[in-house]
Amino acid sequence: MKILNLFLTIPYLMVVTESCMRMVPQDDAYIPSTMAPEKSTLAPGESTMAPMAPSTTIAAEETRLPEEMMTTPALESSTVTEKVCAVTEEKCLNLATVVQGTMQMFEKDGCIEFMCPDNDAPYFKGAFADSEIPPPTADDEGNELTIIRPKSPAQIAKGLVAYYGLTCVDNKLTATEYPRGINSVRTGDVYGTDGSYSGKKSILSQVDCD
C-alpha cells in the first residue's frame, strides 16, 4: 500500500514543480515599464542632430588663408620703392675734376650733396658748346656760361642739387634748372630770367664757391 502511495505522489510532485517553474519569469523576459514616457519638446519633424555646415563654407575657409598669404607679400612689395639718387660718384665720374675751390661735397641720405662755406655763394659754370641752351647771340658761339646764383640762402634750403636740378649725363655732372637765368661770361649779359631754360641740360665744367 505504501509503495502504491509513493508512485502516486511522485507524479504529483513533478506536476507541481513544473507549474511553479512556469510562474517564475526568465531573466531576459520583457517586463513592461510602469513609468510614464518623457514628453518630447521638439516640433514634429524636428531633428535632434546639429545641422552640418555646407561643404562650400568649409572649402572657403580652407582656401582663404592661402590666398591671404599669397597676396600680402605682393601688396608689401608694391608699396616698397627704392630711392634713386640724382648725383652719385658712380654716375658722375668727373666730380673729382669739376668740384673745385671751397665747394664742399658730402653724402646725405646716401646721395651726393653740395654746400658752400658761410658767406660764400655757389658758382656753376659750363659752356654753350656743351649745353642744350642755344647761344643767345653770334658772339656767344663757343662762349662759356654761368648759372646765376640764388639771391638768398632760403632759395637753396632744399640743397644745391635741387636748386640747379643736378643730375649725371654720360657720367658728367649736369645742370637742368636755371631759376634766375644764365650769364654770358664773354659779354656779361643775362638771359632766361623767366625760367624758359629750365629742363635743358648743361654739362658743368666747374662747381665752386666765391
Type of residue at 196: S
Q: Which residue in this structure is represented by grid cell 654753350?
A: 128
Task: Specify whether the CB–CB gap between 119 and 209 falls below 8 A.
Answer: no
Which pLDDT score is estimated for 78?
A: 44
Which pLDDT score is estimated for 86?
A: 95
Type of residue at 65: L
Q: How far apart are CA 17 and CA 85, in angstroms?
A: 117
What is the DSSP secondary structure assignment for residue 87, as one 8-state letter? -
| Domain regions of the chain by residue span | 95-209
Nearest to 165 by CA among 193, 129, 201: 201
Nearest to 184 by CA among 151, 135, 150, 149: 135
Q: How far apart are CA 198 and CA 178, in angstroms?
A: 6
Which pLDDT score is estimated for 24?
A: 47
Cell of 17: 514543480
Whole-model pTM: value is: 0.61
Give per-10-residue mean pLDDT for the chain (210 aa).
55 57 50 50 53 51 52 48 86 96 93 93 97 93 95 92 97 97 94 95 97
